[in-house]
Amino acid sequence: MPELPEVETIVREMREASLLNLSIKKAEVFWERSLKRPSPSDFCRQITGQKILKIDRRGKFLVFTLSEHTLLVHLRMTGKFIIGGDEIHPHERIRLTLSDGRILRYEDQRKFGKWELVDKAESVLTDLGIEPLSAEFTVGTLLAFLKAHSRALKPFLLDQKTIAGLGNIYVDEALWMAKVHPLRLTSSLTKEEAKLLHQAIRHVLTKGIENTGTSLGAQRANYFSVSGRRGSNQDELKVFRRDGLECPRCGETIIKITVAQRGTHICLFCQK
Ligand SMILES: [Zn+2]
């Protein structure tokens, strides 16, 4: 569930928490399958003693540049980081003890999240598409992508190989804002629609970051930032999980349909 704005918030909070330049004193793996590679014993042995040089985001991946390797973490549905707290939480899967004594805990209730310790980040990240908030992502780039494909808009936007970082929440919001139906064929969008969609994608992501992410519900499995803070972007959502409520633009009832096996929230009046 964490998408670009949530992962970006986590990265920023980790930097603010002064994790940079600390070393990893000890690593413990409580759930082996949270590690994609290497094996738990190799992971613990290799990562111990390495310094955290950089913390970045690429798409929905957290990228930790360490002194020898790169650690890539994909949170999937319910993965989250928490700094501090001694007791092992029932959903805690991996824990790193840092050189200043603090503990970086990784919890993941549904266990879909994955950690990988690799020599080169590119070996994993090479398939990712463009960063939607980068200068390279222009209306022209988007229009070229749209014309190069002939598929439904929503699965196209969710495909990390084209544009990296968008997920269900921000795609539904962007499509509503741009007034396009999620099942429209990409190649059918006009230049004007592409321009609106480009603007909408940037807008919803930027807002999401400003609001430090979207936290739906109050349960522990939901998105919380590293400091345990809830985001506030859920208060700004216009259609996502608002089926049965009024469209804030036209007053028609928002409905929920299924597109590419994903619950999709639209206003049929605004999104033809
Ligand atoms: Zn509407």
Between the CA of 247 and the centroid of ligand 1 the distance, in Å, is 5
The model's pLDDT over 112-127, given as tens digits with 9 standing for 90+, comes to 999 999 999 998 999 9
Between the CA of 4 and the centroid of ligand 1 the distance, in Å, is 26
Between the CA of 252 and the centroid of ligand 1 the distance, in Å, is 6
The alpha-carbon radius of gyration of the chain (Å, integer) is 20
Distance CA 11, CA 131 (A): 16
State residue 1's pLDDT score: 79
State residue 216's pLDDT score: 83
- Vertex 199 angle, CA 155 and 188, to 5°: 50
Bond into 248 cis (ω within 30):
no
* Pair type for strands 103-108 and 255-259: unpaired
Output b/e per residue, 59-84; b: 16+ Cβ within 10 A. bbbbbbbbeebbbbbbbeebbbbbbe
Q: Catalytic residues, which ones?
A: 2-3, 60, 262
Between the CA of 65 and the centroid of ligand 1 the distance, in Å, is 44
Between the CA of 78 and the centroid of ligand 1 the distance, in Å, is 31
Between the CA of 251 and the centroid of ligand 1 the distance, in Å, is 6
State residue 222's pLDDT score: 73
* Residue 139 burial (10 A CB sphere; 0-12, 13-18, 19+): middle
Between the CA of 178 and the centroid of ligand 1 the distance, in Å, is 11
Which pTM value belongs to this model?
A: 0.96
**Which of the residues in the chain have pLDDT under 70?**
218, 220-221
Neighbours of ion ligand 1 (CB under 5 A): 247, 249-250, 252, 267, 269-270
